[in-house]
Amino acid sequence: MSERRSKLNTAVYPGSFDPVTNGHLDIVERAAPLFDRLVVAVGVNPKKPTAFPLPERLEMLREATSHLENVHIESFDGLLVEYASSIGANVIIRGLRAVSDFEYEMQQVLMNKQLCPGIETIFLITSSQYSFLSSSIVKEVSSFGGDVKDLVPPPVEARLRRWSRRQG
């Protein structure tokens, strides 16, 4: 058992987290006990506009995961597998909400395997109450004044309200 445990010591859960939702948090909370260290990595993609700047997304994630001792929040740019390799991670965690997510994720896994065969990807199926949830839909509902308190951690809800006021 100790040999197996040492092989699964660090995992990366990547995403844009714009903003972090309870669906993301569900995956983090379920993945954290499986690894000695779970790095939630906010990807920086200059071609993808975001509602929240990188420092704010990092802060929201730190607030939402502060109760998990082995979870670390970082940012990265460039190829995910290169980043994962640079921090000694041998596993990438991906959340799946629906079958439609699988096709895209499968392409990513195959490319990542081509680039770095030593890194595995583990899919976690989202809990059913979050199967419809995405950052995009949360921003859309919030921008129309909808209640998102059950969809995001409390500090994120307050930020979304401020963001929505700036949008409208």
Q: What pLDDT is recorded for position 48? A: 84
User: Is 97 one of the annotated active-site residues of the chain?
Assistant: yes
| Cα distances (angstroms) measured from residue 147 to each of 7, 134, 139 | 43, 15, 11
> What pLDDT was estimated at residue 1?
45
CATH number of 2-131: 3.40.50.620
24, 94, 139, 159: which is the annotated catalytic residue?
Answer: 24
Tens-digit pLDDT profile for residues 12-38: 999 999 999 999 999 999 999 999 999
How would residue 102 be classed by pLDDT, with cut points 50, 70 and 90? confident
Looking at the whole model, is its pTM more than 0.75? yes
Can 48 be counted among the known catalytic residues?
yes
Catalytic residue among 135, 139, 142, 159: 135
C-alpha 1/C-alpha 75 separation (Å) is 32
pLDDT (mean) for 135-163? 93
Question: What are the sequence ranges of the domains in the chain?
Answer: 2-131
Q: What is the predicted pLDDT for the residue at 2? A: 46
pLDDT exceeds 70 at position 4: no
State yes or no: is 128 an active-site residue. Answer: no
Q: Per the residue annotation, which of 30, 37, 97, 113 is the catalytic one?
A: 97
Tell me, yes or no, if 47 is annotated catalytic: no
Residue-wise pLDDT for 41-87, tens only, equals 999 988 889 999 999 999 999 999 999 999 999 999 999 999 999 99
* Cα–Cα distance measured from residue 28 to residue 15, given in angstroms and rounded to the nearest whole number: 12
- Annotated catalytic residue within 2, 6, 47, 48: 48
* 3-state DSSP assignment of residue 26: helix
CA-to-CA distance for 20 and 157, rounded, in angstroms? 10
